[in-house]
Amino acid sequence: MYDNICKFLAENFTNDLATWLLKKQVTLTKMEPKEFFVEPVRPDAVILLQSDELILHIEFQTLPEEEIPFRMTDYRLRGFRINPDKRMYQVVIYLKKVTSKKDLKLVKQTKFTLEETTHRFNVIRLWEQPTDLFMSTPGLLPFAVLSNTNAKDSTLQAVAAQIDNIADRRIQNNITASAAVLAGLTLKEDVIQRILRRDIMRESVIYQSILEEGLEQGLEQGLEQGLEQATRKIAANMLSKGVPVESVMEFTGLTLEQVQQLQTQLSENQS
């Protein structure tokens, strides 16, 4: 779900993210060449945008993974194969603050080395970024509560005030829903509900897409129990209704092993 929210923001507020990441205004368009979408890279976690001069490759990560340096290198080579004349700006954006020594080491990795080959990429740890950086443009507002602030509830209140100033109702709805979901990484559901207007969130494209799948309960539980638990609940509901495993994996982002574990739990509960 977090991947989907971040991908939605990147693809619908491209100028805002480009100005933040590239430090200048660049007109970018969505890029989906088939050459990129092969194993071992997961296309659902990848955002590719391009201009006449460069390719912007963004990966949003809730938690670090050991294979990220290789993945970034793999994508750089794929980009070169498709557009050898374009430079490629790559960045991994970590959403959730980590504390363990292992994870701290992983989120600081900015290169991949294999014998004589070395590839470097950029890393942003949101919890180290100044809050003001995300308060000036609509597309960055949902990330503000994950930034370097000790008063996250007050930051979300400031975000809500900025959202109220957005004239376009559609944009207002979508930013509210995105901010609510990402805030779930660091704030409790009752705080989010108190600050952000639920009626506006319900009108968003993101919320409506979930309702269309008959999963409103899953979203409610996502705010109450955390997005990971909500995703598992959604997957369990889909399995109980006979939805194929492949479709459950595609919609929720869970691995085959995780879905099979849910299937086993459902079978045990029914026996």
123 in the same domain as 10: yes
Residue pLDDT, tens place only, 97-134: 999 999 999 999 999 999 999 999 999 999 999 999 99
Q: Which of 103, 127, 151 is the last residue before a domain boundary?
A: 127
Does residue 72 sit within a domain?
yes
Cβ distance 237 to 229 under 8 Å?
A: no
Question: What tokens appear for 56 in the block?
Answer: 């912007």
Predicted pLDDT at 215: 46
69 in the same domain as 17: yes
183 in the same domain as 112: no
122 in the same domain as 7: yes
Does residue 243 sit within a domain?
no
104 in the same domain as 141: no
Please tell me the least confidently modeled range out of 82-91, 115-124, 244-253. 244-253
Q: How many domains in the chain? A: 2
151 in the same domain as 176: yes
Predicted pLDDT at 170: 86
Q: Which of 107, 127, 147 is the last residue before a domain boundary?
A: 127
Which of the pair, 36 or 143, is modelled with greater confidence?
Answer: 143
Q: Give the mean model confidence (pLDDT) for residues 121-150.
A: 96
Does residue 162 sit within a domain?
yes
pTM: 0.73
Predicted pLDDT at 214: 46
Domain containing residue 22: 2-127
121 in the same domain as 6: yes
Does residue 98 sit within a domain?
yes
Q: Which of 127, 159, 192 is the last residue before a domain boundary?
A: 127
Does residue 99 sit within a domain?
yes
Q: Is the pLDDT of residue 60 over 90?
A: yes
Distances in whole angstroms, Cα of residue 111 to Cα of each of 45, 70, 75, 160, 271: 19, 9, 13, 37, 50
Q: Give the mean model confidence (pLDDT) for residues 263-269.
A: 83
203 in the same domain as 164: yes
Cα distance between residue 49 and residue 14, in whole Å: 8
Predicted pLDDT at 222: 46
Residue pLDDT, tens place only, 205-247: 655 655 554 444 554 554 545 556 667 888 888 888 778 888 8
pLDDT band at 3 (very low <50, low <70, confident <90, very high): confident
Does residue 167 sit within a domain?
yes
Distances in whole angstroms, Cα of residue 94 to Cα of each of 10, 125, 151, 211: 15, 5, 20, 28
Please list the residues that pair with 88 across neighbouring strands: 55
CA torsion sign for 110, 67, 48, 117 is positive
Residue 115 CA from chain centroid, whole number: 33
Which of the pair, 246 or 96, is modelled with greater confidence?
Answer: 96
If DSSP codes are grouped into helix, strand and coil, which group holds residue 151?
A: coil
97 in the same domain as 19: yes
Contacts of 154 (CB under 8 A, 6+ apart): none
118: left (phi over 0), alpha (psi -120 to 50) or beta: beta
64 in the same domain as 142: no
Q: Give the mean model confidence (pLDDT) for residues 64-78.
A: 93
Residue pLDDT, tens place only, 178-211: 898 899 889 887 888 888 876 666 666 655 655 5
Predicted pLDDT at 189: 79
Classify strands 117-120 and 111-114 as parallel, antiparallel or unpaired: antiparallel
81 in the same domain as 21: yes
Does residue 106 sit within a domain?
yes
139 in the same domain as 116: no
Distances in whole angstroms, Cα of residue 152 to Cα of each of 74, 192, 197, 198: 36, 10, 17, 19
Classify strands 87-94 and 111-114 as parallel, antiparallel or unpaired: unpaired
Does residue 23 sit within a domain?
yes
If DSSP codes are grouped into helix, strand and coil, which group holds residue 22?
A: helix
